[in-house]
Chains A and B, each alone.
Chain A
Amino acid sequence: MATLSENSRKFLVELCKKYRNDEHELINVLHEAQDELGYLPVEVQHVIAGELNIPDARVYGVVTFYSFFTMVPKGKFDISICMGTACYVKGSELILDEFKRRLKVKVGGTTEDGIFTLSTLRCVGACSLAPVVSIGSKVFGNVTPLQVKKIIDEYVEKAEELH
């Protein structure tokens, strides 16, 4: 098992303590741990299990049950393609395919440069703009496959600025 940095370990120990090392607070602990560390690798789950005095299998079961939790690091930008009914009939699958092709990742995957994570969601309540792609808090409406490259380029630039 890869080792965890001493700081991360301390953070997790303190976090569990904050929740009185109560096993019923597992989901809250995982939530905050992911907020802080970005993802929940095996070592993180193992430390949390130990602190809450529950088997690793229980923590792992919860992490794999909720799609919110992730065991792999996410990219800087999360590209979410809406696959809700309205977007779907307006061709969101073609847009998803274009993102997959250009980013060379599957749904849930993160690009090698760590900039993008590709995911899907069900309806953001903007059906009049279908098909919809959301990145962070920004929503792109009436997206066509031809616009995909432009969107990607825009965020690659942003990522470079952030550097």
Chain B
Amino acid sequence: MSVKITIDNTQHTVKKGLTVLEAAQSIGIEIPSLCYMKLHDINIENKPGGCRICVVEVKGRKNLVPSCCTEVEDGMDIKTHSMRVINARRTVMELILSNHPAECLTCAKAGDCELQSLADRLGIRELHYEGEKTHVRKGNSPAISRDPNKCILCRRCEMMCNDVQTVGCLGAVNRGFHSVVAPAFDKDLINSVCTFCGQCVAVCPTGALTEIDESAKVVRALNDPTKTVIVQTAPAVRAALGEEFGNAPGTLVTGKMVAALRRLGFHHVFDTDFAADLTIMEEGTEMLRRLKGYLAGDKDVKLPILTSCCPAWVNFFEHQFPDMRDIPSTARSPQQMFGAIAKTYFADMLKIDRKDLIVVSIMPCLAKKYERARPEFQQNGNPDVDIVLSTRELARLIKLCNIDLNMLPDEDFDQPLGESTGAGVIFGTTGGVIEAAVRTAYEVHTGKDLPKLEFEELRGMDGLREATIDFDGLPLRIGIAHGLGNARKLLEDIRSGKSHFHAIEIMSCPGGCIGGGGQPYHHGHVEILKKRQLALYSEDGSKKLRKSHENPYIQALYKNFLGAPMSNLAHLLLHTHYFDKKY
């Protein structure tokens, strides 16, 4: 079904049911918008029609109409950029800016701010209205900074928090001039059900929601001659960092990232992928033990086993499904495994006290900032991981130090905590952790070599996926969810006994870590995530070693230090426990 419309004096036939905004987009006319956001791949749309930036003129209608929530009709005659429209659009923009704090000089969003670039695009040079400013209390947390005074009430964060993630932390409070998006009872995020997944930050068009910037701490640490400063980089970072330096989405910059970190002055540049391999050894062993116990009829053994690498996911089930906290694997996340090994095994190697070793993580994630601050990941007040930077913060730091990433040679990670297999690399995408686990668990369980390492049935971008892998006669049923709303569905199925899976992988962010809350902003173009995903699979494919248990440095770590997977020492350093956070 299609309709004939006239847009800007030219006739077009467009699909019925489209909004004016989408119809215009489909023929290459971009109508400026602000509150509107459509995330195609996850089928989510935010169109409260609240900001009125996208108004257009429709012949025969008295008032201008918001194009984001007006459907095309046969014979419609639309003007997207008439003088009347321009006039209205600029006035709307001026009104939005009339109570906006003009703090662009120090705002964390400057340069990436949709409000700022739209004001520029509309040529706003003078503000004719000055409204009363709101003075709402700012809210800080270990991971996310909230400044409601910069909020334009587009409600995108609310959509992510409630519809996509089903966390239900953020909601509109009060009315009229006093409206603000806030957690229930105006609590701080840290005392709310917030998981710190950062998806609200990923879609916020202004500086109202940003990450807590810790780059100054890194600069201070690198300036301190008494400290040895080491860095680990999460898998998803290398697939996105290049975007901040003008590279096409999906450009891998692993070697250049290592070179840049070395030039920043880190004493050792290591890889979280190493710890991902370690995670597979622990989680894979736990999975096989539970599976064997279950098959042997042990009533105390619960299946499915759920992955536990994602700190926002851990927060989610601690808050919303605390009764099921005995199901996820007890394995710590790769970030925390790395920190624990660095501050024991590696500090011993260097013969330094753990207090003099500063561990910095580069993460695609904001929840990692929260995770590193959890009390159980500290020893006598000294955290296993000291500082966490997001991909965006690292990009800013590299630029700050006048390092031209694109001109750097490719360099290799340092040893012994920098070697990784392809299995560790794919941890950064949905489906990757379970594929990595299957590669190792299969070979350990069957004693046979895998004929083919790529499990296409585990890959993809659908929010909920399932596959059955033949473990030499044992059909292993695997479920995968990304986005916490999808995770909730799986958890409810488990609770009601409907679930038939042996193992489930869960990542909080759409796409997995490649779509994390600390990654370069996608500005609604979630198709970027697929390109980042392909980049990780291509790095995996290019590796000589692609199974975690074949990593020689992991083998050495067990031989010289840990003993065996799930040994007492491994339990102490690499496993954790969960809390009931329901109140």
A55 contacts across to B, CB distance below 8 A: 162, 167-169, 171, 184, 193
Would you list which residues of chain A between 36 and 85 have a CB under 8 Å from chain B?
A: 42, 45-46, 49, 54-61, 64-65
CB-nearest residue of chain B to A57: B171
**In the complex the two chains form, is A65's CB within 8 Å of B175's CB?**
yes
**Bound: A49/B169 CA distance, A:** 13
**In the complex the two chains form, is B184's CB within 8 Å of A56's CB?**
yes
Choice from B162, B170, B175 contacting A64 with Cβ under 8 Å: B175
Size band of the interface chain B makes with A: 10 to 19
Known A-B contacts A1-B583, A42-B185, A55-B193; the reply to A61 vs B172 at CB < 8 A is: yes
A42 contacts across to B, CB distance below 8 A: 185
CB-nearest residue of chain B to A60: B184
Q: Does B27 contact A (CB under 8 A)?
A: no
**In the complex the two chains form, is A58's CB within 8 Å of B583's CB?**
no
Known A-B contacts A1-B583, A42-B185; the reply to A57 vs B174 at CB < 8 A is: no
**In the complex the two chains form, is A57's CB within 8 Å of B583's CB?**
no
Q: Main secondary structure on chain A at its contact with chain B?
A: helix
**In the complex the two chains form, is B170's CB within 8 Å of A57's CB?**
yes
CB-nearest residue of chain B to A71: B185
Choice from B167, B168, B185 contacting A58 with Cβ under 8 Å: B168
B175 contacts across to A, CB distance below 8 A: 64-65
CB-nearest residue of chain B to A56: B184
**Bound: A98/B184 CA distance, A:** 36
**In the complex the two chains form, is B168's CB within 8 Å of A61's CB?**
no
Q: Does B183 contact A (CB under 8 A)?
A: yes
CB-nearest residue of chain A to B161: A57
B174 contacts across to A, CB distance below 8 A: 64-65
CB-nearest residue of chain B to A54: B168
Q: Does B352 contact A (CB under 8 A)?
A: no
**In the complex the two chains form, is A64's CB within 8 Å of B173's CB?**
yes
A 113-128 binary contact with B (CB < 8 Å = 1; else 0): 0000000000000000
B182 contacts across to A, CB distance below 8 A: 57
Known A-B contacts A42-B185, A55-B162, A55-B193; the reply to A60 vs B583 at CB < 8 A is: no
Q: How many residues of A contact B (CB 8 A)?
A: 15
B168 contacts across to A, CB distance below 8 A: 54-58
Would you list which residues of chain B between 168 and 226 have a CB under 8 Å from chain A?
A: 168-175, 182-185, 193
**In the complex the two chains form, is A56's CB within 8 Å of B173's CB?**
no
**Bound: A19/B287 CA distance, A:** 44
**In the complex the two chains form, is A60's CB within 8 Å of B162's CB?**
no
How many Å from the CB of A30 to the closest CB on chain B? 14
How many Å from the CB of B30 to the closest CB on chain A? 33
**Bound: A60/B168 CA distance, A:** 11
Would you list which residues of chain B between 403 and 452 have a CB under 8 Å from chain A?
A: none
**Bound: A154/B162 CA distance, A:** 51
Choice from B173, B193, B583 contacting A61 with Cβ under 8 Å: B173
B162 contacts across to A, CB distance below 8 A: 55, 57
Would you list which residues of chain B between 146 and 170 have a CB under 8 Å from chain A?
A: 162, 167-170
**Bound: A99/B193 CA distance, A:** 42
How many Å from the CB of B354 to the closest CB on chain A? 38
Q: Which residue among A42, A55, A65 has the maximum number of chain B CB atoms within 10 Å of its CB?
A: A55
**Bound: A56/B191 CA distance, A:** 13
CB-nearest residue of chain A to B180: A64
How many Å from the CB of B213 to the closest CB on chain A? 26
B170 contacts across to A, CB distance below 8 A: 57
How many Å from the CB of A64 to the closest CB on chain B? 5
CB-nearest residue of chain B to A59: B184
**In the complex the two chains form, is A61's CB within 8 Å of B185's CB?**
no
Choice from B167, B185, B193 contacting A60 with Cβ under 8 Å: B185
A56 contacts across to B, CB distance below 8 A: 168, 184-185, 193
How many Å from the CB of A130 to the closest CB on chain B? 26
A61 contacts across to B, CB distance below 8 A: 171-173
How many Å from the CB of B556 to the closest CB on chain A? 48
**Bound: A42/B171 CA distance, A:** 15
How many Å from the CB of A24 to the closest CB on chain B? 16
**Bound: A64/B178 CA distance, A:** 10
CB-nearest residue of chain A to B583: A1
Q: Which residue among B162, B167, B169, B173 has the maximum number of chain A CB atoms within 10 Å of its CB?
A: B173
How many Å from the CB of A51 to the closest CB on chain B? 14
**Bound: A21/B428 CA distance, A:** 40
**Bound: A61/B169 CA distance, A:** 11
How many Å from the CB of A120 to the closest CB on chain B? 15
Would you list which residues of chain B between 560 and 583 have a CB under 8 Å from chain A?
A: 583
B167 contacts across to A, CB distance below 8 A: 55
A54 contacts across to B, CB distance below 8 A: 168
How many Å from the CB of B182 to the closest CB on chain A? 8
B183 contacts across to A, CB distance below 8 A: 57
A57 contacts across to B, CB distance below 8 A: 162, 168-171, 173, 182-184
CB-nearest residue of chain B to A65: B175
How many Å from the CB of B424 to the closest CB on chain A? 36
CB-nearest residue of chain B to A55: B168
B172 contacts across to A, CB distance below 8 A: 61, 65
How many Å from the CB of A132 to the closest CB on chain B? 25
**Bound: A143/B175 CA distance, A:** 31
A49 contacts across to B, CB distance below 8 A: 184
**Bound: A65/B183 CA distance, A:** 14
**Bound: A42/B183 CA distance, A:** 13
**Bound: A37/B156 CA distance, A:** 35
A1 contacts across to B, CB distance below 8 A: 583
B171 contacts across to A, CB distance below 8 A: 55, 57-58, 60-61
How many Å from the CB of A61 to the closest CB on chain B? 4
A58 contacts across to B, CB distance below 8 A: 168, 171
Q: Which residue among B168, B175, B185 has the maximum number of chain A CB atoms within 10 Å of its CB?
A: B185
B184 contacts across to A, CB distance below 8 A: 45, 49, 55-57, 59-60
Seed contacts A56-B184, A58-B171; 9 additional CB < 8 Å A-B pairs: A45-B184, A46-B583, A55-B162, A57-B170, A57-B184, A60-B173, A64-B173, A65-B172, A65-B174
Of all A-B residue pairs in the complex, the 7 with the closest CB atoms, nearest first, are: A55-B168, A57-B171, A56-B184, A57-B184, A61-B171, A60-B184, A64-B174
Residues in chain A within 8 A of chain B (CB atoms)? 1, 42, 45-46, 49, 54-61, 64-65
Residues in chain B within 8 A of chain A (CB atoms)? 162, 167-175, 182-185, 193, 583
> Would you list 25 pairs from A and B whose C-beta atoms are within 8 A, ordered by A residue?
A1-B583, A42-B185, A45-B184, A49-B184, A54-B168, A55-B167, A55-B169, A55-B184, A56-B168, A56-B184, A56-B185, A56-B193, A57-B162, A57-B169, A57-B171, A57-B182, A57-B183, A58-B168, A58-B171, A59-B184, A60-B173, A61-B171, A61-B172, A65-B172, A65-B174
